[in-house]
Chain A
Amino acid sequence: MSEKPRGERKFKYVGTRPIRHDGLDKVTGRAQFGADYALPGMLWGKVLRSPHAHARIRGIDVSAALALDGVKAVITGRDFPDVASEAAEGGEGANDFGDLAMNVMAREKALYHGHAVAAVAATTARIAEEACKRIVVDYEVLKPVLSLDEALAPDAPILHEDARATGHEPLPKGPSNVASRRELGRGDLAKGFADADVIVERDFRTPMVHQGYIEPHAVLARTGQDGRSVVWCCTQGPFMVRAFSAKVLGLSTDMIKVIPTEIGGGFGGKTTVYGEPLAILLSRKAGRPVKLVMSREEVFRATGPTSGTHIRVKMGATRDGKLTAAEATLYYEAGAFKGSPVNAAMMTVFAPYKLANVRIEGWDIVLNKPKVAAYRAPGAPMAALVVETVMDELAEKLGLDPIDLRLENAVHEGVQATYGPKFRAIGFVETLRAAKSHPHYKAPLGKNQGRGVACGFWFNAGMSSSANVSINEDGSAVVVTGNPDIGGSRASLALMAAEELGIPVENVRPVVADTEAIGYTDLTGGSRVTFATGMAVIEAARDVIKQLRARAAQIWSVELGSVAWEDGHALLLTEAPGVHEPLSLAQLAGRAAQTGGPIVGRAALNARGAGPGFATHICDVEVDRETGAVTVLRYTAVQDAGKAIHPSYVEGQMQGGVAQGIGWALNEEYVFDKNGAMENAGFLDYRMPVASDLPMIDTVIVEVPNPMHPYGVRGVGETPIVPPLAAVANAVQHAAGVKLAELPISPPRLLEAIDRAS
């Protein structure tokens, strides 16, 4: 089947907005999420967590807990095998299995307030809670390390005495809290800055923030007499849960089957394991099913926020707005174990711009806070905050329109990215042009109001995916993949299958299978599902079509080559039309038995050619100069989606990313007390945006096809959270006439800046 020339392809179903296949279950309450499963004889699990941010565990006495009526199992670090340090593939970010094992259950040391030290399974949740209270842990409390500056101080307490910094020299000799230091760059920085007419330097600090998914982590594990465990859990990656849990528990992969439930948000936060290995081990010990559901407080204290950062950026430009040099130093908090997203930050920080002379230095720092997990374009938003505020200031100093300055320096196909390779076809310039011509950009502003512009970049991922497409007797189809549907991916995968097969999308049933019902599939993350798993679905559908053509050829007794597939029908390519009427998919399906049996297409691939995503955002705010309160008045997000398969869910990703970015910019932050306990571990004081905090969020989808995908798809999920921090900050700076140096731009902080400025 010949692929129509790219870009010219006319789509019949792709690009339409059908109702998602899983929608009805989700609006009627039937959809089952992580905590919605129960089994006969089920026990309730509860985790005991460290009340200290940094402490040596001298001993744990669980006898009183075990003595409590209804308690069926108690586990501590001693029940887990020692796991050697080893890079963990298949998750997100830089994970190490040795660290992972110690993060799910503390061993010699508790490394953050909320670190798991023991877990209980009991007949009721109340008994499990009571049992946790009766576990006696003998702590030697140590001085906690709670900030980047403290961590780097010469006399800083050390979290991991035997760890050594890795990366590029110069590195600290001996024990330190530096996990790694790396350098990236090219050209002649000194010359670049010498050539600049204007140089702007900014220094920003941003706090830890949480992904804030509404569904707490939940897992139900059942282990049989044969030692095989079945795990129901809300995760972005069932195969990841299987691999990570097996590794942490010293089991072979085939001993664990993971059935992904519906998932109530993840944003990267459900790309690793927390309670899963604990529930499995408790169920093995108790011989009964164990359900472990985190409280919201546990989610905040013990699951992945993203890094707090300290970032310095210096950029130079000529009078006519050409960037001549750029330098960045990035310090990222990894939490209690190495592996902040600083690497990605180094690569994304200047990625949108043409730069011959660049130097980027990135530090990965451990301290006594929860280990960070991936969060939507991990590492990029904070880096973009600083670069885009610098670009804004450069434009101001040069008297240039901020979008024009970016257009002048924007990367495009063939340009070598600051992180190394050359870009293929990308749509950055197109997003800038679309933003500039948008009515929002010209709309008048009132008193105390300001407008900010900012851009963002994210790589997007490919990775491994499997897909099966089977044809039912009546010509409808079932699409089976291994990616939990976190935001409408069932619908986009079904659309692609429908497009290939030429049948209505309603006749395609998309299914998310468990780890034993579909081939290995990397997790739902990196904005990869519609791109990579979509590629697998298209390939599997084409496999089906090849079989359908063969069946038709068989029926017509002609060569396969003389049978084409168009719009859901097999047609005979012959000079004498009408000799054989076209055979519909339904007709062929009806005759499957007599033509060789069931028709099932398969694909398994490691998707290459992920297309980078670029976005340009415009934000208007109004500032109350007496209170420092900021109101977001209007917001427009422009993004290159390559090809929007289901435009509604592309818009939804953009709007959701913007909302999270606005929260990050204005109010969200981890607040720790002097002992390292989080003070605002709840939705009341961890202030995520509520409906009345936000305006409608306009979206403009730009489509510059990704040449490496049959439909031109790029990932869209992560890019939208990259620009908002800077878009909001720039808008506030213009509205209030201040210079900001820290997030969040909370009312007290902004009022202080306003009073200082006036």
Chain B
Amino acid sequence: MKIHVHTRVNGEATEFLCAADRSLLEVLRDELALTGTKEGCSTGDCGACSVMLDGRLVCACLVLAPEAEGRSIETIEGVAKGADIHVLQRKFLEHAALQCGICTPGFIIAAKALLERNPDPSEEETRYWLAGNLCRCTGYDKIIHAVLDAAADLRGETR
């Protein structure tokens, strides 16, 4: 017996059917074709599947799809508003903060959650907040620069 789940994804009312043991990640990718949310481990250790669930940063691989009933979900596909990309997305591009790019959606979702909570994070706060997002290409250097620069930009400063 599949479960009928009603939810909002990136602001849009979205319904889907799923088995009780499906993860939100599987439903986003395989049912809703929102493949911007990536799977790196399915054990909550890499952060590639980071999404916002009712305004909370979570790993979609560790959320059961039925739990999304009545909840709102934000994925990487919802970060850019129409033609305008988010400051974080722009800064990741300007700072060359991605190499292969597989971890990038997760980093942008997680960094956005950080800046919404803390508009002026220190380098250390940023590194700890993002410790759940693995990147194997960059050594994190340019990612941290991009996030701190985006924060400054959002504060109206120029670094």
Binding site for B on A (CB under 8 A): 17, 19-20, 22-24, 26-33, 35-36, 38, 126, 211-216, 262-267, 293, 295-296, 486-488, 646, 648-649, 651-653, 655-660, 682-684, 688-692, 694, 696-697
Interface string of B127-140 (1 = CB under 8 A from A): 11011111111111
Other than the known A29-B37, A691-B133, what 13 A-B pairs have Cβ atoms closer than 8 Å? A29-B79, A35-B35, A38-B33, A213-B136, A264-B101, A267-B136, A296-B46, A659-B139, A659-B140, A683-B43, A688-B136, A691-B140, A692-B131
- In the complex, which residue of chain B has the Cβ closest to the Cβ of A35? B39
Q: Bound state CA distance, A682 and B124, in angstroms?
A: 26
Contacts of A487 in B (CB 8 A): 99-100, 137
Q: Bound state CA distance, A649 and B99, in angstroms?
A: 8
Contacts of B94 in A (CB 8 A): 19
- In the complex, which residue of chain B has the Cβ closest to the Cβ of A218? B39
- A448 CB to closest chain B CB (Å) equals 20
- Interface residue SS majority, chain B: loop
Q: Of A24, A36, A265, A649, which contacts B35 at CB under 8 A?
A: A36
Interface string of B94-110 (1 = CB under 8 A from A): 11101111111100100
Q: Of B40, B108, B144, which contacts A296 at CB under 8 A?
A: B40
Contact of A697 with B139 in the complex, beta carbons under 8 Å: yes
Contacts of A488 in B (CB 8 A): 96, 99
Contacts of A17 in B (CB 8 A): 96
- Interface residue SS majority, chain A: loop
Cβ-based interface call for B154 (8 A) = no
Interface string of B80-98 (1 = CB under 8 A from A): 1000010001001111101
Q: Of A36, A216, A267, A691, which contacts B130 at CB under 8 A?
A: A691
Contact of B36 with A29 in the complex, beta carbons under 8 Å: yes
- In the complex, which residue of chain A has the Cβ closest to the Cβ of B22? A126
Q: Of B38, B92, B145, which contacts A27 at CB under 8 A?
A: B92
Contact of B85 with A20 in the complex, beta carbons under 8 Å: no
Q: Bound state CA distance, A646 and B136, in angstroms?
A: 20
Q: Bound state CA distance, A559 and B97, in angstroms?
A: 49
Q: Of A23, A36, A646, which contacts B93 at CB under 8 A?
A: A23
Contacts of A263 in B (CB 8 A): 100
Contacts of B27 in A (CB 8 A): none
Contact of A264 with B79 in the complex, beta carbons under 8 Å: no
Q: Bound state CA distance, A591 and B29, in angstroms?
A: 47
Cβ-based interface call for B157 (8 A) = no
- B20 CB to closest chain A CB (Å) equals 12
Cβ-based interface call for B3 (8 A) = no
Contacts of A293 in B (CB 8 A): 39
Q: Of B40, B80, B128, B142, which contacts A215 at CB under 8 A?
A: B40
- A69 CB to closest chain B CB (Å) equals 16
Contacts of A296 in B (CB 8 A): 40-43, 46
Q: Bound state CA distance, A535 and B137, in angstroms?
A: 25
Enumerate B41-74 residues with CB–CB distance to A below 8 Å: 41-43, 45-46, 48
Q: Of B30, B101, B128, which contacts A26 at CB under 8 A?
A: B101
| Known contacts A33-B102, A487-B100: A652-B142 contact under CB 8 Å | yes
- In the complex, which residue of chain B has the Cβ closest to the Cβ of A696? B141
Q: Bound state CA distance, A689 and B139, in angstroms?
A: 8
Contact of B38 with A33 in the complex, beta carbons under 8 Å: yes
- In the complex, which residue of chain A has the Cβ closest to the Cβ of B86? A27
Chain B contact-residue range equals 35 or more
Q: Bound state CA distance, A213 and B40, in angstroms?
A: 9
Q: Bound state CA distance, A684 and B135, in angstroms?
A: 14
Contacts of A646 in B (CB 8 A): 96
Q: Of A28, A216, A684, which contacts B39 at CB under 8 A?
A: A216
Contact of B38 with A265 in the complex, beta carbons under 8 Å: no
Contact of A694 with B139 in the complex, beta carbons under 8 Å: yes
Contacts of B34 in A (CB 8 A): 29
Which 5 pairs between the two chains have the least Cβ-Cβ distance?
A29-B36, A264-B102, A659-B139, A26-B101, A655-B139
- In the complex, which residue of chain A has the Cβ closest to the Cβ of B147? A691
Contacts of A486 in B (CB 8 A): 99-100
Point out which of B43, B102, B105, B143 has the most chain A C-beta atoms below 10 A from its C-beta. B102
Contacts of B137 in A (CB 8 A): 265, 487, 652, 656
| Known contacts A656-B138, A692-B124: A683-B100 contact under CB 8 Å | no
- B127 CB to closest chain A CB (Å) equals 4
Contacts of B151 in A (CB 8 A): none
Cβ-based interface call for B75 (8 A) = yes
Contacts of B144 in A (CB 8 A): 691, 696
Cβ-based interface call for B76 (8 A) = yes
Cβ-based interface call for B77 (8 A) = yes
Supply 29 A–B pairs (Cβ within 8 Å), ascending by A: A19-B93, A26-B98, A27-B93, A27-B105, A29-B35, A29-B36, A29-B37, A32-B35, A35-B29, A126-B19, A214-B38, A214-B102, A216-B40, A262-B100, A267-B136, A295-B42, A296-B46, A487-B100, A488-B99, A648-B95, A651-B142, A656-B139, A657-B139, A659-B140, A682-B45, A683-B46, A690-B132, A691-B126, A692-B124
Contact of B108 with A27 in the complex, beta carbons under 8 Å: yes
Contact of A656 with B93 in the complex, beta carbons under 8 Å: no
Q: Bound state CA distance, A691 and B139, in angstroms?
A: 8
Point out which of A17, A28, A213, A267 has the most chain B C-beta atoms below 10 A from its C-beta. A28
Contact of B127 with A692 in the complex, beta carbons under 8 Å: yes
Interface string of B4-39 (1 = CB under 8 A from A): 000000000000000100000000011001111111
Q: Bound state CA distance, A31 and B45, in angstroms?
A: 22
Contact of A212 with B136 in the complex, beta carbons under 8 Å: yes
Q: Bound state CA distance, A295 and B134, in angstroms?
A: 16
| Known contacts A27-B89, A28-B89, A684-B45: A691-B38 contact under CB 8 Å | no
